[in-house]
Amino acid sequence: MDTSKSPDWDKIQSDFPINQHLIWLNNCGTTPMGNPVRETVNRWLDEYQRRGTAATGFSYTGVKASIYHRLETLLRARPGELALVHHTAEGMNFISHGLSLDPGDEILLLESEYPSNVYPWEHWREKGVQVRTVPMTSSPGDFPAAFAAAAGPRTRVASLSAVHWCTGMPVPLQAVGKLCAERGITWVVDGSQGVGLVDLDVHACGIHYMAFSAWKWLLGPLGLGIMFVSRDHLESLNPIFKGTESVPHDYEYLPYKHAWKPSADRFAISTGSMTDWVHFDASLAYLEDIGFDRVRDRIGTLSRRLADGLRGVGFQVASDAYPEQASGIVAVSRPGLDSGSAVKTLKDRNIVAAERLGRIRFAPHVYNSEKQIDKVVGEMADL
């Protein structure tokens, strides 16, 4: 796609066969595969079937390096700061178990956080470390004060989501990162709901560690995740597993090596799924071809249209508490309407959304259309 021209949204919609069957508005949950990505994966499978790991069009090191480079560009990360893992939970466990804390220290999490950024921290309670929560505010502007009030003299770690998974509220990462730097707090981010949706500069936000999944805003495959480890904090994170690819010159199996790779790639441990990697690399290339700025703008345009329409038929929109902030997640409620039942009714009408904290949660992506958005508003009005 020529990025000097406006994207052909009709063509992008036709790239996704799911549009022939469903109106998929749960893109902050999981995302479907488009035809161009499937064609790339098919080419890989055809070549693998014929040539195995001698496939010349797709090399293990080449695809991995391509993913790292694309994500480094997107996140403004430096080379050597990324590792491919399986999901957010795995990355968060690597981070949590790799840190060094003392009894009496504190960890701050977000109120009503997604389990992948809760369960990995629970083991610290058995070691005398307190795990507390920061109350969720109704707007991003109020959050830094709430965080500052929650952080105490023994707070050593803060692990928060970039965007709240239930309401869509973006957490002001730079402001929180500044507070963490001033107080000597290790700053960890669950980027699953944010990467690809918000413009996230890991170093401008002062992030030390981050984990996120590939299958949300980045249109990647289920079962693939990414871990970010700031180069300045690599040696502060102790690896809890060691595998073939944890060491330098990992392609030389003997003699055994005792040193770790001098990069975050030490956390990749061992052989990854090439099919997933090819899928993810092709998805990133597809979004790059559109332009991530345009991707974010398009998601914002569709989300605003949806929020405006639903507000007009009597729904309360969570993001109205922060109208100055764009949000790709539209969470709505209406007095007297059971959100869980409403989501089931929508599914019967081939509209896929989710129920979260008593709200109906929608999340459009670039392959959705204005026509789909207007149809959803009409169906919601009839509930």
- CATH label, 51-287, candidates 3.10.580.10, 3.40.50.300, 3.30.1490.20, 3.40.640.10: 3.40.640.10
Residues 295 and 366: beta-carbon distance below 8 Å: yes
- Classify 382 in phi/psi space as left (phi over 0), alpha (psi -120 to 50) or beta: alpha
In the chain, where the domains are located: 9-32+292-381, 51-287
Residues 63 and 44: beta-carbon distance below 8 Å: no
Token code pair at residue 309: 């329409």
Which DSSP symbol is given to 170? B
Mean per-residue pLDDT, 149-166 = 97
Query: Tens digit of pLDDT for each residue in 67-87?
Result: 999 999 999 999 999 999 999
User: What pLDDT is stored for residue 3 in this prediction?
Assistant: 52
User: What pLDDT is stored for residue 19 in this prediction?
Assistant: 98
Distance of alpha carbon 181 from alpha carbon 160, whole angstroms: 15
Query: Tens digit of pLDDT for each residue in 241-297?
Result: 999 999 999 999 999 999 999 999 999 999 999 999 999 999 999 999 999 999 999
How many Cβ atoms sit within 10 Å of the Cβ of residue 119? 13
How many Cβ atoms sit within 10 Å of the Cβ of residue 270? 11
pTM: 0.95
Q: Tell me how far CA of residue 59 lies from CA of 91, 145, 274, 283, in angstroms.
A: 25, 49, 9, 17
Residue 166 has pLDDT above 70, yes or no: yes
Distance of alpha carbon 285 from alpha carbon 78, whole angstroms: 19
Reference 219, options 57, 49, 366; nearest CA is 366
DSSP-H helix ranges across the chain:
9-14, 35-51, 60-75, 88-98, 143-150, 173-183, 274-290, 292-312, 339-348, 370-381
Fold of 9-32+292-381: Aspartate Aminotransferase, domain 1 (3.90.1150)
Residue 1 has pLDDT above 70, yes or no: no
User: What pLDDT is stored for residue 327 in this prediction?
Assistant: 86
Distance of alpha carbon 319 from alpha carbon 284, whole angstroms: 28
Residues 189 and 207: beta-carbon distance below 8 Å: yes
User: What pLDDT is stored for residue 183 in this prediction?
Assistant: 97
Residue 329 has pLDDT above 70, yes or no: yes
Per-position b or e across 178-214, b if 16+ CB within 10 A of its CB: ebbeeeebbbbbbbbbbbbbbebebeebbbbbbbbbb
Which DSSP symbol is given to 126? G
Averaged confidence pLDDT in the chain: 96
Place of tokens 């975050």: 264
